[in-house]
Amino acid sequence: MALKSQQPLDPAYLEKLQDYYAEHKVIPSYSVLATLWGISAKSWVSECVRRFEEAGYLGWTPDRQLKPGPRFFERRLAHDTVQAGLPNPALSEGYDLVTIDDYLIRIPSKTSLVRVKGDSMIDAGIHEGDLIVVEQQPNANVGDIVVAIVDNEFTVKYLDREKSTFVLKPANKAYPVIRPKGRLEIFGVMAGLVRKTR
Amino acid sequence: MALKSQQPLDPAYLEKLQDYYAEHKVIPSYSVLATLWGISAKSWVSECVRRFEEAGYLGWTPDRQLKPGPRFFERRLAHDTVQAGLPNPALSEGYDLVTIDDYLIRIPSKTSLVRVKGDSMIDAGIHEGDLIVVEQQPNANVGDIVVAIVDNEFTVKYLDREKSTFVLKPANKAYPVIRPKGRLEIFGVMAGLVRKTR
DNA sequence: TGGTTGACAGAACGAATGTTCGGTACCGTA
DNA sequence: TACGGTACCGAACATTCGTTCTGTCAACCA
C-alpha cells in the first residue's frame, strides 16, 4: 500500500474540476466531486485528490479544507511549433505555464486598469475597448506609453519631449500632439494590454 | 423576528473574508469564519452570511455550498472620466472586473495561449510577442480570427472564404493569403489578447 | 423606568463530510 | 496459471457541518 502514483492522473478529472471552479469559485465536496467525475465511491475520490495534491494541483488550508494548489491555475502556453504527428500540441513537451494575472501584474496594489477610448493609439496596436494595465507612478521616461490625466480625462499616449517640456504623442496621424499647459499629470505607465474579442 | 437588515454589515468582516479568499482561494467553514471574524457563535456567523448573501457578496452552489457572490470580487476599474479634484476614479458605470483570467477565460480546460510570431496581423492590432487567448475548437466562422495549423506551425489569421474553400487572410498587405491544400486544420478561435510591455 | 431592539453566546441536533478498510474485476507479466 | 498491481465500489464510522432555538446584555428610545 501507500505506493507512489507514477501514472499521470486522468487529465479530464482536473479539467472538470477547473471548469467547476471557474464557474463557482469554490472546490466542491467529495460527494459532488464524485458526481462531477462520474465516480460513485468517495474513497476513490479521496485517492484522486491525494494524487492531485501530490502533483501540486490541490492543497489544504491550515484548517484542513481542500483548496486549489499552486499549479491549479496554471495556463498552458501552446508552443508555436507543433510536433509532427502529435494530436494535441498543448499537451506536448516544453510548455510554459502562466496565469495571466501573474504575467501582467507585478505590483497588485499599484496596478489598475483603464479602458481605452478612441483610436488615437491605433498604430501602437491599442484599440478602442482594450484594457490598459497601468502601473501607477507620477513620472515616466520619454518613449513610454503613459496614462495621463488631461482635462479630467484619462489619455493614453506616448510620452515625448519638445525642448524642455513634455508632450503627449498619439500613434495616429489623424490626432494632434497634446502640449499640456502647466504641469503634465501622469497617472501611470502602461505595463500591458488586455483585449477581449469574444 | 426575521427582520430586514437595514444596517450595512461591518465591512471589516467582508475584507477579512476577501483576504482569506485571496490567500486560499476558498470560502472557509462557519467555524473558521467565526475565528476569522472574532466571533464565537456559529449562529451569528450564519446570520452575517445571510446578510452578505442578501447584499450579493456571497452565494450558493447548486449543492448548497457557500461560494463567493457576484459582488465578491468587485474591483474598481479606473474610469475614463476623472472627478475634478477627487482621487476617487470610479463611477457606478464602471465595469466590475474580477481578475484578468476570469475576464478572458470562459472555459479553462479548452483555453490555451499562443505566442504571436511575426507581424502578419499587425493591422488587427496583433503584434509580435503578444499572447493570443485561444478557445480550442475545430471550426470557426468567416471573419473570426483563428489559430490554424499550417505546416506544423501555428498561424494566426482571419478566416475567410473564396468560393467553396476556406482561406487564411493576414492583416498586413505585405503578406499573401494562405490557401491551404487539403483540409484546413483549425486549432481554435481567438478570444482575447494579452500584451506585456514592461 | 420599562420596553424594545440588535449584537452576540451557547447548546442541541440531524445531516453531511471525509477516512478507513475490505472487496471485486480487470489487466499485464512470468 | 498464478500473481501483483490498478481502478474502482460499498459500508461503517467518528467528526464536523450548518441550523435552530433559547438566553444574555448593552444601547437606545419613551
Q: Is B181 a catalytic residue?
A: no
- Which residue is closest to A80 within chain B, CA to CA? B154
The chain-wide mean pLDDT, for chain A, equals: 84
A53 and A120 in one domain?
no
Judge whether A145 is closer than 8 Å to chain B, CB to CB.
Answer: yes
Percent of residues, chain A, with pLDDT higher than 70: 86
- A162 in a structural domain: yes
Distances (CA, A) of B108 to A14, A145, B80: 10, 31, 30
C-alpha cell read off for B110: 479548452
Smallest CA–C1' separation from A41: which nucleotide?
D9
Q: Using the CA of A8, give the nucleotide whose C1' is nearest.
A: D6
Examine the domain organization and report whether B147 and B93 are in the same domain: no
* B71 and B118 housed in the same domain: no
Is the C-beta of residue B63 closer than 7 Å to nucleic acid chain C? yes
Domain boundary among B59, B83, B98: B98
Instruction: Using the 3D structure, point to which of B98, B117, B139 is the last residue of a domain.
Output: B98
**B117 plus B80 within the same structural domain:** no
Closest residue on chain B to A89 (Cα):
B187
Option in A29, A115, A193 nearest B197 (CB): A193
- In chain B, how many domains are there? 2
Nearest CA in chain A to B151: A82
Q: Which three cell numbers stand for residue B44?
A: 451569528
Beta bridge partners of B150: B153
Q: Based on the domain organization, do A112 and A185 belong to the same domain? A: yes
Place of cell 499550417: B150
Verify that B94 and B111 share a domain, yes or no. Answer: no
- Could you list the pLDDT tens digit for every one of the 198 residues in chain B? 333 333 446 778 988 998 899 899 999 999 999 999 999 999 999 999 999 999 999 999 999 999 999 888 775 566 544 433 333 343 333 445 567 888 899 988 889 899 898 999 999 999 999 999 999 999 899 999 999 988 888 899 999 999 889 999 999 999 999 998 888 899 999 999 999 998
B175 interfaces chain A, CB cutoff of 8 Å: no
pLDDT at B92: 33
For residue A137, being part of any structural domain is answered with: yes
CATH number at residue A29: 1.10.10.10
Assign residue A177 the CATH number of its domain.
2.10.109.10
B49 sits within 7 Å of strand D by its CB? yes
| A75/B189 touch (CB, cutoff 8 Å), yes or no | no
Helix (H) or strand (E) holding A24: helix A11-24
Domain coverage including residue B123: 104-194
Residue B30 beta carbon within 7 A of nucleic strand D: yes
DSSP letters, A80-131, are SBPPTT-S-GGGSSS-EEE-HHHHH-S-GGGEEEEE--SSTTGGGT--TT-E
Distance B47 CA to C4 C1' (A): 20
Are residue A67 and residue A140 in the same domain, yes or no? no
Question: Annotated catalytic residue: which of B109, B157, B163, B169?
Answer: B157
Q: What is the pLDDT of residue B5?
A: 37
- Examine the domain organization and report whether B110 and B74 are in the same domain: no
Of A72, A82, A114, nearest to B152 by CB-CB distance is A82
- pLDDT for residue A79: 60
Note if A5 is an active site residue. no
pLDDT at residue A83 above 90?
no
Please check whether residues B30 and B118 belong to one and the same domain: no
pLDDT beyond 60 at A85? no
Shared-domain flag, residues A64 and A121: no
> Within this chain, do residues B93 and B2 fall inside the same structural domain, yes or no?
yes
Taking CB atoms and an 8 Å limit, are B101 and A73 in contact across chains?
yes
Does B118 lie in the same domain as B164?
yes
Alpha-carbon distance values, B93 to A111, A193, B196 (Å): 20, 21, 27
Give the active site residue among A4, A31, A92, A157: A157
Q: Classify each residue of B144-160 as buried b or exposed e, where b means 16 or more C-beta atoms within 10 Å of its C-beta.
A: bbbbbeeeeebbbbbbe
Is residue A78 assigned to a domain?
no
From residue B191, give the alpha-carbon distance in Å to each of A10, A22, A115, A197.
27, 16, 18, 5
Instruction: State pLDDT tens for residues A146-191.
Output: 999 888 888 999 999 998 899 999 999 999 999 988 888 999 999 9
Could you report the per-residue pLDDT of A105-127, keeping only the tens digit for each? 888 778 888 889 899 999 999 99
In a domain, A90, yes or no: no
User: Closest nucleotide (CA of B64 to C1')?
Assistant: D18
Residue A93 lies in a domain: no
| Model confidence at A82: pLDDT above 90 | no
Measure A166 CA to nearest chain B CA, in Å: 21
Distance B42 CA to C9 C1' (A): 9
Nucleotide C13 C1' to residue B21 CA (A): 30
Residue A148 lies in a domain: yes
pLDDT of residue A163: 86
A80 contacts chain B (CB < 8 A): yes
Spell out which residues of chain B touch residue A112, defining contact as CB-CB under 8 Å.
76-78, 89
Listed residues B55, B73, B98: the one ending a domain: B98
